[in-house]
Chain A
Amino acid sequence: MTGEEDRIKNVKELMSGNEAIARGAYEYGVTFASAYPGTPSTEITEVFSRYNGGYAEWSPNEKVALEVGIGAALAGAKAMVVMKHVGVNVAADPLFTVSYTGTNGGLVIITADDPSLHSSQNEQDNRNYARFAKIPMLEPADSQEAKNYIKSAFEISERFDTPVFLRATTRVSHSKSVVALEDPIQREDTTSIRHNRDKYVMVPAKARIRRVEVEKRMEKLGEFVDTFSENRIEINDPDVGIITAGMCYNYTKDVFPQYSYLKLGMVYPIPVNLIREFASRVKKIYVVEELDPFLEEQIKAMGIEVTGKKIFPYTGEFDPGIVETAITGSSQNTFNFPVSIPPRPPNLCPGCPHRGLFYVLGKLGVFVTGDIGCYTLAFMKPLEGLDSCICMGASIGMAHGMSRALKDKGKGKIVGVIGDSTFIHSGITSLLNTVYNQSNAVIVIADNSTTAMTGMQDHPATGITLQGKKTKELDFVSLASALGIENVRVTDPFDLKETELVMKEELGRDGPSLVISKGLCALLQSKQHEKITPLRINPDKCTGCKLCLRLGCPAISWERLEDIDVTIQKKTKKQKGIAVIDSSLCNGCSLCDQLCNFEAIEEAQGNE
């Protein structure tokens, strides 16, 4: 061992679960990763791509990412495919059949679930996919385990010729804890072309044979899981036993260190003999798990009496207090302050290109089928410019369906809005459908030239890869024209008049229209433009009409006349206050200036 290696063995680092998964994949010699960004999974692929020697890509969506990963695994690579929980829905089609074919190389699918819907449209429990698709699943409890388990996942994949799930939850992905670093193993090139049509061509005759192999594999995994060292029994007080996995183990250990534990590292299949052994050594058993009674139902089916969802919530993520309250039955110490606290929801940034578009849509009073991205926030007051959000890509299909169902009643009143990255993810086929089945809905691509919500990831239309290399750039106008859309318009959302005019024209037309509302994400503007000129409101001109406040810009606020230090001449009898721009927040987008009827908005001078 060289001195260098010796040193790294002793290095400990504070890492998020996501960083640790990336590190573990690197240490284990994983050379291939594909993903679509999605909170809380995004950083895994970003961090992995920065390690030397591997290939990593943003695929256009999770289904493509998984298919890319399957291809790499069949070629003999160790491939990691990364997505958030709802991404697995998108990838479900290849998922269920790669379970039949097996993987040749290593194939690990990371599903980052989001109990409590911190950044998601649902809180589905993806452990169900493991059972549904007959794919083993590991679930780490902290960053050190995340790093260890990604290696175990690949070992299991390679040994049993199966895809393997690694399930993280938001709290594992985004909490940080101490991780011991190790050297990466020597990478070998394991790739080659190996024809095996019996195994990989899933026509009915072949798939029936593989179907039997899947059950044989599950049987072998069932034996293996009883010996898997990450399923472990900790016997303390034998009166109470806890069966748990993932972050719930930490919550429970935190409040009940004295109890006995069966801590599962692999949550599917479950270790039947180990569970029976544990049950024989403790009296009362609680199953502590967030979301569905996934372990509980399987353990009860074994004829073992346990307490689970009878006392624990079905919904939301847990914390130590929730676990303690459920088991002791006592209520949490909550301090209620005698003041109502205004909520602080997330908001579109100052200078966001979506603000102008949704201001116009809200004003037009149309029904806007929305999609997944920052712009979903436009449903809130005061913009109220978006009426639905179901899943990635839903806006276009829904706008078409609604327009078809409403017939004349919906004419000129239905708009589907989708972001650029979301459009590429799953809007292209539904846009084609609006042409094929002749829709009267107007579709808008809110193109801010990035995947903003998840933190500025590139995509095919930015022309830059995950590795920062230039590539062929997708052109939405040519794409739309190739799909057969005759009315394609490009507008500037920072120009309210033009946006309103174009929307009105397109809503007045028969047949499908596409409007590309093109304005750079505010967070990219500050990176790319050297100089931004913030605005201010001239208090001597502001009449307090509040029109600019209707933009919901975080930089603009309302001040009552009595709260202002200097005396301000009232412009009208009714004037109660003035609008104020915080020049340190203002991006100078000028929307408020375009709305103001009193020329009260001007460029902020030097020291503002």
Chain B
Amino acid sequence: MNNTTRSILLAGVGGQGIIRASDILSLVMIEAGYDVKKSEVHGMAQRGGCVTSHVRYGKKVYSPMAKKGDVDILVSFEKLETLRYLDYLKPEGKIIINDEEIYPPSVNLGEVEYPDNINELIASHFSNPKVIRASEMALKAGNHKTSNSAILGALSLYLDIQTNFWESVLRNAFSEKILEANLRAFNFGRNA
């Protein structure tokens, strides 16, 4: 293991299960033998505001927050939020976008427009952003609240982590009632 600390930034809207997803991701990295630190802000952010979670892993991690321009993978749970945190990404960084639009209040009020063609705009600046439809996968998996597992599945393809680490953490993370749906959603995301 070299000394480089790698950073993943998860971004989206309060209520999308971002904190839960970043907890799972962190536990997977610990299983895989890494030191891990993660950081997010609770409180006001829960009320439908932006939520971000930094997950950093390596041999020895100091800061739980990445600096701007230093994130390896941006995992966006909502299209607009992708734009908001692009400045954290390395020029050669990877992007996973959940193809979902959640309107902020000013858009709901009809005061401003939700930006058009976000995915295309991003694709014109960054190579090969991966766009997935996590909500559809969640519904197909049998539980609309499993989108975050689908997104983790998509993320897992970008990480050199054995699948058994993912599986053992996922198995511990969910109650029996919702476990199978989450595993299905994870696999839909992984095979997307």
Do A and B originate from a single complex? Answer: yes
Q: Contact residues of A with B, CB < 8 Å?
A: 12, 14, 39-40, 118-119, 142, 170-171, 174-178, 247, 249-251, 253-255, 257, 319-321, 324, 332-337, 339-349, 374, 377, 380-382, 453-455, 546, 549, 552, 554, 556-558, 577, 584
Closest chain A residue to B13, Cβ basis: A344
Q: A341-B84, A348-B47, A549-B110 are in contact. Are A171 and B39 (CB under 8 A)?
A: yes
Stretch from B61-69, B147-155, B157-165 contacting the other chain: B61-69
Q: A346-B48, A454-B43 are in contact. Are A175 and B64 (CB under 8 A)?
A: yes
Q: Contact residues of B with A, CB < 8 Å?
A: 5, 13-14, 23, 26-27, 30, 35-50, 61-70, 80-81, 83-84, 86-87, 89, 103-110, 112, 114-115, 118, 121, 125, 144
Identify which of A251, A339, A454, A552 contacts B63 (C-beta below 8 A). Answer: A251
18 extra A-B contacts, CB within 8 A, seeds A177-B64, A332-B69, A340-B112: A12-B30, A39-B43, A40-B42, A119-B44, A175-B37, A175-B38, A176-B23, A250-B63, A335-B87, A337-B87, A341-B83, A342-B106, A344-B50, A344-B105, A348-B47, A349-B48, A577-B110, A584-B144
**Residues in B neighbouring A250, C-beta threshold 8 A:** 37, 62-64
**Residues in B neighbouring A335, C-beta threshold 8 A:** 69, 86-87, 89
Report the minimal beta-carbon distance from B10 to chain A, rounded to whole angstroms.
Answer: 13
**Residues in B neighbouring A177, C-beta threshold 8 A:** 36-38, 61, 64
In Å, the complex CA distance between A177 and B60 comes to 11
A546→B110 contact, CB < 8 A: yes
* 7 A-B pairs with the lowest CB-CB distances in the bound complex, closest first: A321-B67, A119-B43, A333-B69, A39-B43, A346-B49, A346-B47, A175-B64
In Å, the complex CA distance between A60 and B109 comes to 39
**Residues in B neighbouring A347, C-beta threshold 8 A:** 47-49, 105
Report the minimal beta-carbon distance from A35 to chain B, rounded to whole angstroms.
Answer: 16
Report the minimal beta-carbon distance from A198 to chain B, rounded to whole angstroms.
Answer: 44
In Å, the complex CA distance between A257 and B58 comes to 14
Report the minimal beta-carbon distance from A132 to chain B, rounded to whole angstroms.
Answer: 27
A334→B68 contact, CB < 8 A: yes
In Å, the complex CA distance between A347 and B114 comes to 18
Identify which of B30, B61, B83, B105 contacts A337 (C-beta below 8 A). Answer: B83
B30→A14 contact, CB < 8 A: yes
Residue from the set A178, A374, A577 with the largest chain B CB neighbour count within 10 Å:
A178
In Å, the complex CA distance between A247 and B64 comes to 9
B105→A552 contact, CB < 8 A: yes
Report the minimal beta-carbon distance from A342 to chain B, rounded to whole angstroms.
Answer: 5
B121→A342 contact, CB < 8 A: no
Q: A253-B62, A549-B110 are in contact. Are A380 and B38 (CB under 8 A)?
A: no
Report the minimal beta-carbon distance from A503 to chain B, rounded to whole angstroms.
Answer: 25
In Å, the complex CA distance between A577 and B111 comes to 13
**Residues in B neighbouring A346, C-beta threshold 8 A:** 14, 44-49
Report the minimal beta-carbon distance from B97 to chain A, rounded to whole angstroms.
Answer: 14
B23→A557 contact, CB < 8 A: no
A-B contact pairs, 8 of them (CB 8 A): A118-B44, A142-B37, A175-B40, A176-B23, A176-B37, A176-B64, A346-B45, A549-B109
**Residues in A neighbouring B37, C-beta threshold 8 A:** 142, 175-177, 250
Closest chain B residue to A248, Cβ basis: B63
**Residues in B neighbouring A320, C-beta threshold 8 A:** 63, 65-67, 70
**Residues in A neighbouring B108, C-beta threshold 8 A:** 549, 552, 554, 556-558
**Residues in B neighbouring A247, C-beta threshold 8 A:** 63
B109→A174 contact, CB < 8 A: no
Identify which of B67, B110, B144 contacts A558 (C-beta below 8 A). Answer: B110
Identify which of A142, A178, A253, A343 contacts B106 (C-beta below 8 A). Answer: A343
B104→A14 contact, CB < 8 A: no
Closest chain A residue to B64, Cβ basis: A175
B43→A40 contact, CB < 8 A: yes
In Å, the complex CA distance between A170 and B50 comes to 17
Q: A342-B104, A558-B110 are in contact. Are A332 and B67 (CB under 8 A)?
A: yes
B26→A176 contact, CB < 8 A: yes
B39→A175 contact, CB < 8 A: yes
**Residues in A neighbouring B105, C-beta threshold 8 A:** 344-345, 347, 380-381, 552, 554
In Å, the complex CA distance between A577 and B48 comes to 25
In Å, the complex CA distance between A552 and B104 comes to 10
Identify which of B48, B68, B144 contacts A332 (C-beta below 8 A). Answer: B68
Residue from the set B66, B83, B86, B110 with the largest chain A CB neighbour count within 10 Å:
B110
B67→A324 contact, CB < 8 A: yes
In Å, the complex CA distance between A112 and B41 comes to 13
Identify which of A178, A337, A377, A455 contacts B125 (C-beta below 8 A). Answer: A337
**Residues in A neighbouring B81, C-beta threshold 8 A:** 344
Closest chain A residue to B22, Cβ basis: A176
In Å, the complex CA distance between A247 and B65 comes to 10
Report the minimal beta-carbon distance from B2 to chain A, rounded to whole angstroms.
Answer: 13
Q: A14-B26, A40-B43, A346-B46 are in contact. Are A337 and B80 (CB under 8 A)?
A: no
**Residues in B neighbouring A374, C-beta threshold 8 A:** 47
**Residues in A neighbouring B61, C-beta threshold 8 A:** 177
In Å, the complex CA distance between A453 and B23 comes to 22
In Å, the complex CA distance between A253 and B81 comes to 29
In Å, the complex CA distance between A584 and B5 comes to 40
Q: A346-B47, A549-B108 are in contact. Are A176 and B65 (CB under 8 A)?
A: no
Closest chain A residue to B78, Cβ basis: A344
Q: A177-B37, A321-B67 are in contact. Are A14 and B27 (CB under 8 A)?
A: yes
A453→B43 contact, CB < 8 A: yes
**Residues in B neighbouring A178, C-beta threshold 8 A:** 30, 35-36
Identify which of B38, B41, B84, B109 contacts A119 (C-beta below 8 A). Answer: B41
Closest chain A residue to B66, Cβ basis: A320
A170→B41 contact, CB < 8 A: yes
B103→A557 contact, CB < 8 A: yes
In Å, the complex CA distance between A380 and B105 comes to 10
A336→B38 contact, CB < 8 A: no
A343→B63 contact, CB < 8 A: no
In Å, the complex CA distance between A455 and B47 comes to 11
**Residues in B neighbouring A380, C-beta threshold 8 A:** 105
**Residues in A neighbouring B69, C-beta threshold 8 A:** 321, 332-335
Residue from the set B44, B81, B83, B87 with the largest chain A CB neighbour count within 10 Å:
B44
Report the minimal beta-carbon distance from A512 to chain B, rounded to whole angstroms.
Answer: 32
A342→B114 contact, CB < 8 A: yes
**Residues in B neighbouring A332, C-beta threshold 8 A:** 67-69
Closest chain A residue to B39, Cβ basis: A175
